[in-house]
Amino acid sequence: MAQNDSTDFDLQYIKGIGPKRALVLSEYGINTLYDLINFFPRKYVDRSNIVDLNALIPEQEVTVIGKIEAAGVRRMRRQIFYIVISDGKGLLEAVWFNSINYFKKIFKIGEWVSLSGKVSYYRGFQLVHPDYDRLGQGEIDNLFNTGKILPFYPGSDVFKRAGINSHIFRKVFYHIIQNDDLMRFSEFFPDLLLSKRNFLNRTEAYRQIHNPDSNDLLDKAVYRFKYEDFYYLQLMFALQRAHLKSKPAGISFINKSERLARLYNNLPFKMTEAQKRVVKEIRNDMKQSSPMNRLLQGDVGSGKTLVAIMAMLIALDNGYQAALMVPTEILAEQHFLNISKLLQPLNVKVSLLTGSTKAKQRNQLKEELNLNQPHIVIGTHALIQDTVGFGKLGLAVIDEQHRFGVAQRGRLSEKGSNPDILVMTATPIPRTLALTVYGSLDVSIIDEMPPDRKSITTVWRFDNKADKIYEFIRERLKAGQQAYIVYPLVEESEKLDLKAAAEGCEFLSKNPFKDFRVGLMHGRMKADEKEETMKLFVKNKIHILVSTTVIEVGVDVANATIMLIEHAERFGLSQLHQLRGRIGRGEKKSYCILKTPYNIGDISQQRIKIMTETQDGFIIAEKDLKLRGWGDLFGVKQSGMPDFRLANPIFDRTILEQAREDAFEIVQSDPLLRKAEHQGLNNYMQKHFKERMNLINIS
Ligand code: ADP
Ligand code: MG
């Protein structure tokens, strides 16, 4: 039987489309029936949820429907565009304060509209700037008389210019789903899965998503498509894993690491249980012949570096080299100093390679790395330059991995022959999301902080409280403690920021803190200047470090107990969390002050509130995701993540877990998807995820 998952059918021959519209659709990326049927509504209006206009209650969020009875411009203190709608039971006014000419053009008396917004009261009920959808004239009978659920499709400029709106999409889809020849989509889920999850069959699900018969059926269709979104991805992860595991090209680090034991026995503190567990997981992976691909998640200050050091010692004691790549020079330098010190008694060769390593040193280091000798090298992007070669790279560790692109991470691992890979991140993400974003990696989590950490009190203050804040900071400084004062970095203009931070520094050192030493650090300083400043701060020769976000990662000064963040509203949540992680590192109580102007946006307010409520990086990351959307955070397109039609890994985690469980189960029972009952699935994946499936290399 012919199936319609392909390019077979020329869209222009579908009723309601024609050659012109087909062209517009193709401009939007809809070229085939398959593309079109997977273009889903963005929302639905259901008659049963519509509030009658005589039953409105102030402050309620509502969707209403009515016919436009009047429309025009009123001049109050400023111009207002208004419409009055009626549904036969009552009247309601909606107003807009801007884009007046535009609204004048689009709203026509006699047409039906649906409006959504909060009911307010101003000489009668009103909606101010409601969301609106124009319903045209004919369809409304349909909605009212048959109780249909009306789908609304995503608009785009391309569509608007061509006059393609939801109304037209509804007509087109109505024709498609009436046509049995078109509505023939092969079922690729095996029967067992269909009954396990009680799915609508595929064709029926498409029917219901575009033209729902009831809320219940719509929910079922939505469920199936969300599940599908996750399933494809998890299936590929499962296949990738099965494939990787069966390719024993990596290194087995079987020797016990004598240096690791010595380090462990001489630590100045006790490792947390979480650290021990994670080291064990890594050690196990490293023993295997297949290359380790592990993500280590742990909140700021949870002690990931030590774990990385231990992994590197394992590589070393097996005769290999290990590299640690970090995103900034200052962090590389700090790691280098700390690690060298820690490993001094163990007789390990530790080197530093950054952009500012002098040519002579660099050349010597390159020669040494080319030799086949155990060696730990710590560095920045400088490590992945073409001219750097490793004689025997066994382990590549990438710290703060979110700061690197996929390609950069790959390049480091290509410096060896299938070395083990450990990527570390202090931007923890919830498990389900990790499964989506890093599904082919194994994940270790340090979910416990060292016990000596004091909690940090975080407060939000407006700019008019500056004097009080300075007074508070002075008191701490007099007691011998230190402070960070952070200015935001605006990406468009590094110069301006610098100006803000430099002027801030100037003002602070002359006025509220004239009795103290104030140092300035910013991204444009040379590495040795930064290091010099940092050293002075470490020695408490500088009492206040004014900086842009360059101190964001890694820096460790236990005596710094205060962080004042200027214009905190300009920072992202995870940035704020990272910054705050610089304090609370010692015995003394720490304070983080988030300072903002009085008037800041809604989302900024929420971010700042979250910071004052919790210190748990996992919770913060999750809330951040909810505020920002996960696609935004991970740059869905550029990271090669599929663009989900409906699924959202944050809100739909139960479905994600189900899809993952089922996908891994199938691959376990049939790693090449060769069984008859999996043939459909295999074909479907080969067809629609060709590139990725080729990488996995099954057919
Ligand atoms: P992060 O996970 O943010 O990279 P680090 O590895 O930089 O954290 O560790 C932060 C600080 O905590 C370092 O000074 C480190 O020496 C110290 N540390 C690590 N593990 C422990 C522990 N188990 N107990 C006490 N301090 C620890
Ligand atoms: Mg770290």
**pLDDT tens, residue by residue, 407-445:** 777 788 788 888 999 999 877 776 667 777 677 778 899
DSSP string of 475-497? HHHHTT-EEEEE----TT-HHHH
Nearest to 233 by CA among 544, 645, 545, 678: 645
Name 384's Cβ contacts closer than 8 Å, sequence gap at least 6. 325, 408, 411, 412, 415
Q: How far apart are CA 221 and CA 695, in angstroms?
A: 31
Mean pLDDT within 309-318: 96
**Counting atoms of ligand 1 from 1, which one is nearest the CA of 307?**
6
User: What rounded mean pLDDT belongs to the chain?
Assistant: 86
Q: How far apart are CA 642 and CA 509, in angstroms?
A: 51
- Residue for token digits 């020797």? 255
pLDDT on residue 494: 57
Best residue among 300, 306, 453 to mutate for probing ligand 1, ranked by most atoms within 8 Å of CB: 306
Mean pLDDT within 527-535: 79
The backbone torsions φ and ψ at residue 555, rounded to the nearest 5 degrees and listed phi first, read -60, 140
pLDDT on residue 265: 94
Ligand 1 center to 206 CA (angstroms): 52
pTM of the model: 0.67
Report which of residues 641 and 295 the model is more confident about: 295
Nearest to 415 by CA among 315, 310, 321: 321
SS3 label, residue 670: coil
**Counting atoms of ligand 1 from 1, which one is nearest the CA of 272?**
23
CB 455: neighbour CB atoms within 10 A?
9
Mean pLDDT within 443-470: 91
Question: What pLDDT digit, counting tens, does each position of 45-103 carry?
Answer: 776 678 899 999 888 888 898 999 999 999 877 889 999 999 889 999 999 988 888 89
Give yes or no for a contact between 282 and 295, defined as CB atoms under 8 angstroms apart: no
pLDDT at 386 over 90: no
Residue nearest to atom 16 of ligand 1 (CA): 303
Q: How far apart are CA 257 and CA 264, in angstroms?
A: 11
Which residues sit opposite 396 in a β-bridge?
A: 323, 421
Question: What pLDDT digit, counting tens, does each position of 471-513 carry?
Answer: 999 999 999 999 999 988 655 555 666 677 888 899 999 999 9
Ligand with minimal distance to 304 CA: 1
**Counting atoms of ligand 1 from 1, which one is nearest the CA of 558?**
14
pLDDT at 1 over 50: no
The pLDDT > 70 percentage for the chain reads 88
pLDDT tier for residue 556 given thresholds of 50, 70 and 90: confident
Is 301's C-beta closer than 6 angstroms to any atom of ligand 1?
yes
